[in-house]
Amino acid sequence: MTVLVTGGAGFIGGNFVLDWLRQLDEPIVNIDKLTYAGNLQTLSVFEGDARHHFVCGDIGDRVLLDKLLSEHQPRAIVNFAAESHVDRSIHGPGEFIQTNVVGTFALLEATRAYWLGLSDQAKYAFRFLHVSTDEVYGTLTPDDPPFSEMNRYEPNSPYSASKAASDHLVRAWHHTYGLPVLTTNCSNNYGPYHFPEKLIPLVILHALAGKPLPIYGDGQQVRDWLYVKDHCSAIRRVLEAGAVGETYNVGGWNEKTNLEVVMAICGLLDELKPRQDGVSYAQQMTYVQDRPGHDRRYAIDASKIEQALGWKPAETFETGLRKTVIWYLENQSWVQGVTSGQYRQWLETHYHGK
């Protein structure tokens, strides 16, 4: 048996591949385009391992997809491949439409053609699991209940709109063609191997480098934080036992303001790697202009996946964040490998040198 993973050299996909191969013998075929956020160094521990077959490629490449599906005959596909950074989607939405919408369409069509050619038994057992985001639901007021699977879609950024479109395609391919799909919508992930454009790794690395810690607007935007390895365990559980056609929200039950997150990181760094001058890293916090259309609050109601599949997160925000900070302190070679000149130029442009 084999599972095909798309986007398996990225942050969440890479962690999924690592955890899968550490716990299971079932091989993975891993296709990743290796854009700026894809990094094979994340998977270097499995270099030469016959269970991990890596292919550098695009989910929009139908010829390649047909070849891989025919050759490896996977029992399931887990689709992580996506452009995922809201700020980048604001500056350049075209890449997000191409990968998240057009790419998902190509993947679904290749999967449908492959699935139709399977035996009845293999067709019944096959699964297509699509990994999505809570951002498709829009934004919440402070008093709103968390997002459930019944919330209507109200995406507010080019990124979330492109992911919403991909979710709709997956749903339609199930209802129209009978493709056995599963969809997960997760809250903000954090943890090891996170490309340092997102809040938590960016703050850790800026703090250690003595740079200002940029905080959008008033810092009171609320997010639900999910440790990436908890997310990976949820995906494995949904793949194993999820009901075909269903959506499962995956969250950490950890609502925090951005300001609270930055302060928590500073407190851990003050403890684990104090500044030489004895001053708290919190002194480096700098408020910057808020981004356009910044959603105020996301929160996930993860009751359905707990009640239906028995899954709940193992980490609290405090335990997960401590593990994350320690990982970055102990893996500076990985950090140096991903913080290329191109990435530093993007940071300089995006934050205007702040």
Asked, for residue 64, whether it belongs to a domain, the answer is yes
Closest by CA to 231, choosing from 314, 147, 128, 127, is 314
**Catalytic residue, candidates 58, 61, 83, 134:** 134
Where are any strands of DSSP class E within the chain?
3-6, 28-32, 52-56, 76-79, 127-133, 181-186, 188-190, 213-216, 222-227, 247-250, 255-257, 285-288
253: left (phi over 0), alpha (psi -120 to 50) or beta: left
As a whole number of angstroms, the distance between CA 334 and CA 1 comes to: 32
153 part of the active site:
no
With bands split at pLDDT 50, 70 and 90, how would you rate the model's confidence at 351?
A: low
Give the separation between CA 238 and CA 340, rounded to whole angstroms: 36
Tell whether 262 is covered by a domain: no
Mean pLDDT in residue range 264-283: 98
The CATH number of residue 71's host domain is 3.40.50.720
In a domain, 243, yes or no: yes
Which of 32, 87, 114, 159 is labelled catalytic?
159
How does pLDDT run across 288-332, given as a tens digit for each residue? Answer: 998 888 989 999 999 999 999 999 999 999 999 999 999 999 999
Compute CA distances 303 → 34, 40, 75, 143, 199, whole Å. Answer: 35, 35, 28, 19, 26
**How many distinct structural domains can be found in the chain?**
1
Q: How many CA atoms lie within 13 A of 130 on its CB side?
A: 31
Euclidean distance between CA atoms 322 and 272, whole angstroms: 10
Domain assignment of residue 329, yes or no:
no
> Is residue 263 a part of any domain in this protein?
no
Q: How far apart are CA 112 and CA 106, in angstroms?
A: 10
- Side-chain half-sphere CA neighbours of 262 within 13 A: 27
In this prediction, what percent of the chain has a pLDDT beyond 70?
96
Q: Determine whether 120 is exposed, middle or buried from the number of CB atoms within 10 Å of its CB (0-12, 13-18, 19+).
A: exposed
Q: Please give the C-alpha separations between residue 310 and each of 227, 237, 250, in angstroms, as whole numbers.
A: 18, 9, 12
Query: What pTM, to 2 d.p., does this model score?
Result: 0.94
Distances (CA, A) of 108 to 28, 55, 78, 178, 186: 19, 18, 11, 12, 21
Pairwise CA distance, residues 7 & 193, whole Å: 14
pLDDT (tens digit per residue) in 187-211 = 999 999 998 888 999 999 999 999 9
> Which residues form the domain of 303?
3-189+228-253+295-314
In a domain, 325, yes or no: no
- Can you give the pLDDT at residue 328? 97
Residue 140 lies in a domain: yes
Q: Are 216 and 285 in contact (CB under 8 A)?
A: no
Catalytic, out of 61, 87, 135, 230: 135
Which residue is associated with the tokens 């190509």?
A: 106
For 15-65, how does the pLDDT look when each residue is reduced to its tens digit (9 = 90+)? Answer: 999 999 999 999 999 999 988 788 888 999 999 999 999 999 999 999 999
Per the model's pLDDT, the better-predicted residue between 333 and 201 turns out to be 201
